[in-house]
Chains A and B, each alone.
Chain A
Amino acid sequence: NAGVTQTPKFRVLKTGQSMTLLCAQDMNHEYMYWYRQDPGMGLRLIHYSVGEGTTAKGEVPDGYNVSRLKKQNFLLGLESAAPSQTSVYFCASRADAKEYFGPGTRLTVT
C-alpha cells in the first residue's frame, strides 16, 4: 500500500492563479480531510468528506473548494490564490479512529 499520497509536493503560484491539489489513498477509507498547517497554529481543517460524492466545510473553508468524485481521491482547489493561502497542506484519510496523513504540499503564493 502506498498509503496517502499528495501531488504536487511543492508549488509556487502568483496571486489570482488557480490550482488543484490531489490527494489519493489506497486503503479504501471512507473519510478524507484537507488541513492547512501554519506556524504556531497547528493544523486547521479546511474541508472533509465522509464518503464518495460528499463534502463538508471545516474550520477555514473560504477560498477553497473540494471534490470527491472517486472514493480514493480528494481534490482541493484554489480558484484565485491569495498570499494568505501560503501554507503547507496536508491530506488525511481515516479508519478505526485513526488518521493517516500524506507527506504534505508546500504552497507559496506570491
Chain B
Amino acid sequence: AQSVAQPEDQVNVAEGNPLTVKCTYSVSGNPYLFWYVQYPNRGLQFLLKYITGDNLVKGSYGFEAEFNKSQTSFHLKKPSALVSDSALYFCAVRDPNFNKFYFGSGTKLNVKP
C-alpha cells in the first residue's frame, strides 16, 4: 500500500534561517512525489514534483526538495525562510499505476521574524 509520513506536526524556524520539512514515503514501484502548500482558508497550491531525473527538484517560491531513494525520503527545503512561508505543507505520492494521490498529514511551518 502507498503511504506518506510527515513526522513533524510543526516546524519552527527564524526568518533568514534554512528550513527543512520532512517527508518519507512507502510506495511500490517508482514514486511520483509532490509538495503542496496551503494557506489559511485556501486550497492547496502546487510547489514542486519529482517524477524522474535529477534528485534535487526546484519549485515555486525558492523551495526545493531532494529525492533520496535509499532513505525513501523527499524532504522540502529552503535556504532562507520568510515569514510569508508560514503555512501548512503537505507531501503527497501518486501511485503511477492508478490515478490516486496519497497525502501526508501535513506540517505546519511557523517562520518567526
On A, residues with C-beta under 8 Å from B are: 4, 31, 33, 35, 40-45, 48, 50, 56, 58, 90, 92, 94, 97-104
Q: Is the interface of B mostly helix, strand, loop or mixed?
A: strand
Which residue on chain A has the smallest CB distance to residue B100? Answer: A45
Determine if B49 and A40 form an interchain contact, defined as CB atoms under 8 angstroms apart.
no
A-B contact count (CB 8 A): 56
Determine if A101 and B43 form an interchain contact, defined as CB atoms under 8 angstroms apart.
yes
Quote the shortest CB–CB distance from B110 to chain A (angstroms).
Answer: 17
Contact A99 B45, CB 8 Å, known A40-B9, A42-B90, A42-B106: no
Task: Please name all residues of chain B whose beta carbon is closer than 8 Å to the beta carbon of A42 when the two chains form the complex.
Answer: 4, 6, 90, 103-106
Determine if B99 and A41 form an interchain contact, defined as CB atoms under 8 angstroms apart.
no
Q: Is the interface of A mostly helix, strand, loop or mixed?
A: strand
Determine if B100 and A99 form an interchain contact, defined as CB atoms under 8 angstroms apart.
no
Contact A97 B49, CB 8 Å, known A42-B90, A42-B105, A43-B90: yes
Complex: how many Å from CA A40 to CA B9? 8
Counting contact residues on chain B (CB < 8 A from A), the size range is: 20 to 34
Contact A103 B43, CB 8 Å, known A40-B9, A43-B90, A97-B94: yes
Determine if A101 and B44 form an interchain contact, defined as CB atoms under 8 angstroms apart.
yes
Contact A102 B43, CB 8 Å, known A42-B90, A43-B90: yes
